[in-house]
Amino acid sequence: MPQSLSLVLLHIVFSTKNRKPVLTPAIERELHPYLASIFNACRCQALEVGGADDHVHILSSLTRTITIADLLETVKKSSSKWIKTKGPEFHWFHWQDGYGAFSIGRSGEAALRRYIMSQREHHKRRSFQDEYRELLKMYNVDYDERYVWD
């Protein structure tokens, strides 16, 4: 084939360092569009961005010219610098070192969008840590609990 084409959709999840609950609705109103703009600048369309006080979920496409690791390094580094400009209460801000990135098919896109949009409601009943463990099981990812959290 003379042309390279791809469609890869990802469910990306990462939290604040030590899961500090600082991503209030007020900062989210700016943060979520800012995260989307970084994805878009990397030629990876952010299709949905949501989260709760201590983490974010992103449904994104992945262009064929960037790795997941490079994309998330750019996103986390740029957004961390941006958040630190939002006031003295954010001068210490960091994202966790790791992330979860899970492939999904088109058939799962609508359900994932609904799930991401309902994060605040969802986390009235479940912690991020419990949710993340459930995601790892659902996506069938082997993990060692000692190395998941920071």
pLDDT computed for residue 47 by the predictor: 98
Q: What is the domain count for the chain?
A: 1
Q: Is the pTM of this model over 0.75?
A: yes
Residue 39 counted as domain residue: yes
- 17-54 burial: b if 16+ Cβ within 10 Å, else e: eebeebbeeebbeebbeebbebbeebebebbbbbbbbb
Residue 104's beta-bridge partner residues?
A: 9
pLDDT computed for residue 122 by the predictor: 87
Residue span of the structural domain in which 47 resides: 9-147
Residue 2 counted as domain residue: no
pLDDT computed for residue 102 by the predictor: 97
Residue 50 · residue 117 · CB < 8 Å? yes
Residue 142 counted as domain residue: yes
pLDDT computed for residue 68 by the predictor: 98
Helices 68-84 and 25-41 sit at what angle, rounded to 10 degrees?
Answer: 140
Quick one: DSSP state of residue 3?
Answer: S
Residue 3 counted as domain residue: no
CATH of the domain at 101: 3.30.70.1290
- 3-state SS class at 142: coil
What's the average pLDDT block by block, 10 residues per block, for the chain (150 residues)?
Answer: 87 96 94 98 98 97 96 98 95 95 96 95 90 94 88
